[in-house]
Structure 1
Amino acid sequence: MRVERIARDKVRIFISYDDLEERGIDRDEIWHNGKKVQDLFWDMMETAYMEVGFDIAGPISVEAFTMPTEGVVVIVTRIPSMPGAGHEDGDYSDDEGSYEDRDHGFSSRTTPTHMVMAFRELEDLLAACKTLRQYPVQTALYHHEGAYQLVIRGDLRPDQWEEVFAISAEYGEMSRVTPWMLEEYGKVIFADHAVEQLLRNFPT
């Protein structure tokens, strides 16, 4: 299990299939809000609090989606109790009904809207781009933490996202950074149409 804080009120948690197996949870079972899944969720929240100080003493939304080899990605977002209100860590009311449902699980499965893949070598990135160009995605390229970071966005079907991930993972790996971190700290190579520009600049 790995926790990343991607905003003040949002964390992203990676749960490997090994994590699920250790807890006796089948891949399909995670979408059924049983006791083992609820226990896993609260273990995740405890880990998020211990590692990055993320407290959920207030209303939250939970989104989850699966990746073919990586496991399950869960995004937990704290929701202000009043429209337009912000929170500081720990500054929450605990009124009755502040949770829509305290038996949180992963029933709110969603389709991802983006992913970031890291490539150590330019040749690996180019090899992935040759196949990725057939998909209707928007891409940007950064250099950060010694790797080429390809941001992939699009309105794809779940099976298309799985194909895009499988293609990218053949040559690279899921990045530990978010698009927002790259926009702030990464070195921009191509702000848009990265796949097309790479293949245009490095024809084979």
Structure 2
Amino acid sequence: MRIEKINDNKIRIFVTFDDLEERDIDLSSFNYNCPETQELFWDLMEQAELELGFETHESQLCIEAVTDVEQGFVITITKVEDDGDFESIQKFIKNRYRRNDLKIKKKTNSICSTVMIYNMDSFDDVCALCDRLKHLYIGDSSVYQCEGSYYLVLKRMDDVERNPAKIESILSEYGDRVLNVLFFEGYLNEYGSLIIGDSAIDVLADMI
């Protein structure tokens, strides 16, 4: 693991696949709710504080994790000192990954993640999306509300070979895909409100 200090409020952490293997962390289950992942994260925070003086005790954290095909994961952590800065970062992330941009990127990707999260602005959109997915999607699903938005969380897709391109197309029509799933799932569990915990697609589709 390697930690790089960008400035006083931002660091970048490089986690290799070998690092995960040393800690017995399975890549397929690497998410914030996994105890091993949480232990790894806080070990990294302690290391960053000792080596770089990066203290986070009184700060909110904005975390973005992306995969690197050759290295593993690159995690960028930004300290947010006040609510104004946090709101600006949220707007930046939302504007950066607009729906049209996501459609272009997804054309080359198939649905293979064990966890996917989609963000929508209205509950009606969530219900309409679930109605479209009811007979296509196989797997667990739940819905959260957080900071004025709704999030559909999809887990353990058992039948990814059943027209994944069509599922991706439908998902992108209604919402924006959350890219930093590894940590955002934990964020929803901590700060979001769970609306439907199990079989959300079936439950909401029946409401249409």
Q: TM-score under structure 1 normalisation? A: 0.50
Higher RCO (C-alpha 8 Å, min separation 6) = 2
